A = this chain, B = another copy of it.
Amino acid sequence: MNHRIGIPDSEFVRGDIPMTKQEIRILTLAKAGIGSGDTVIDIGAGTGSLSIEAALLAKEGRVIAIEREPEGFDLIQVNAAKFKTANVEARLGAAPEALAGLPAADVILIGGSGGKLPEILGCADKLLKPGGRLIITAVTVETLSTALSNMRQRSAYSVEACCVQVTRIQQVGASNMFKALNPIYIIACNKEG
């Protein structure tokens, strides 16, 4: 493995855009099983932190990073330049519309859905190659519930899900304090080959 996944959060440029934390990126990428030639679509890419780590894995492939907020769209490009991942293509737009015309993908990551998750899952299913992996991260009850019920109904997929709750231990003087991060649900869907 030339690329060692798990870039520290502090190395990414970010404004006020929420960023997936290091531990969640690591687990998402591992469950995505990205190969060096893969085509990856990252929906709701935010600061691009996940897209960039994906691009370092898919180094002969490409990562299409879709983000509807102009601030995020700019940050993706700033971060892609910083990490020299020329294979990241940022696109400004909202899914599912922004998915039109995209190539078939080996991996689709969904980190944000703007309330249109069922439509996005329908489009993602069409774009995802046989044997591909669809990974949804959820921070709301609605995304968790919709993702599970929608994907469990699709017979072509095996679905497994977990909640990951990370508590950072922060040094404060001579003490080590427990500082919780928000829990994240990861729903991993493998499409049959």
A1-39 CB contacts (< 8 Å) to partner B: 1-6, 23, 26-27, 30-31, 33-36
In-complex Cβ contact of A1 among B36, B160, B179, B180 (8 A): B36
The tally of residues in A whose CB lies under 8 Å from a CB in B reads 50
In-complex Cβ contact of A182 among B30, B140, B178 (8 A): B178
Q: Which residues of A contact B (CB under 8 A)?
A: 1-6, 23, 26-27, 30-31, 33-36, 57, 115, 139-145, 148, 152, 160-169, 171-172, 174-185
Cα-based distance from A30 to B144 in the complex (angstroms): 26
A30/B5 in contact, CB under 8 A? yes
B182/A179 in contact, CB under 8 A? yes
A166/B167 in contact, CB under 8 A? no
Counting from the closest, the 9 A-B pairs by CB-CB distance are A145-B145, A180-B180, A6-B30, A161-B169, A163-B167, A140-B175, A141-B176, A4-B33, A26-B30
Cα-based distance from A27 to B22 in the complex (angstroms): 10
Q: Most chain-B CB neighbours within 10 Å: which of A171, A176, A180, A183?
A: A176
User: 25 interchain pairs (CB within 8 A)?
Assistant: A1-B35, A2-B36, A4-B34, A23-B27, A26-B30, A115-B175, A139-B177, A139-B178, A140-B172, A140-B177, A141-B169, A141-B178, A142-B175, A142-B176, A144-B145, A145-B145, A148-B169, A152-B171, A160-B169, A161-B168, A163-B166, A169-B185, A177-B182, A178-B182, A180-B181
What residues on B are CB-neighbors of A144 within 8 Å?
Answer: 141, 145
What residues on B are CB-neighbors of A139 within 8 Å?
Answer: 177-178
Give min CB distance, A129 to chain B, whole Å. Answer: 16
A174/B4 in contact, CB under 8 A? no
Nearest residue (CB) in B for A171 is: B152
Cα-based distance from A4 to B57 in the complex (angstroms): 10
